[in-house]
Amino acid sequence: MLSLTEILISILVLIGSFLSLIGSLGIIRLPDIYSRMHAATKSATLGVVFLISGSFVFFLSEGVFILQLLFTIAFVFLTAPVAAMIISRSAHRNGVELWGRTKHDELMESYPEHLEPERDNEKADQP
């Protein structure tokens, strides 16, 4: 019979695997770089955190406290969203096209006039 710890570890690993799968499907299925970046950041970050948490609980149940796993969780939580934001802003600034059905480009309004990227997709700027 499974102990409560084994059930908790199994749940954490299954949730982490499921969220990573959803993030992977989002990267494949979503239409533009910005939507794909959102899928990669949100679900994949949570998936990795759940998987590492499952590893932490496993080793803790064996009597081994691994502080590096907690540092890894903190590192992933802090760096993945920031990296995704920087990559998205860089793509926007370099003129990567928005999805054709995008209604409004809020980031375009934040640039000074001399730094605005040139775009062929002007539909995104129409209200």
d(C-alpha 3, C-alpha 29), whole Å: 39
Mean pLDDT within 75-94: 88
* Residue 103 contacts residue 121 (beta carbons within 8 Å): no
pLDDT one-digit tens code per residue, 17-68: 999 999 999 999 998 888 888 888 888 899 999 999 999 999 999 999 999 9
Residue 3's CB: how many other CB atoms inside 10 A? Answer: 9
Tokens 């299954």 belong to residue: 14
Torsion (CA) 24, 26, 28, 32 in degrees, nearest 10 = -140
Residue 84 has pLDDT above 60, yes or no: yes
> Higher confidence at residue 21 or residue 122?
21
- What average pLDDT does the structure give for the chain? 85
* Residue 15 contacts residue 50 (beta carbons within 8 Å): yes
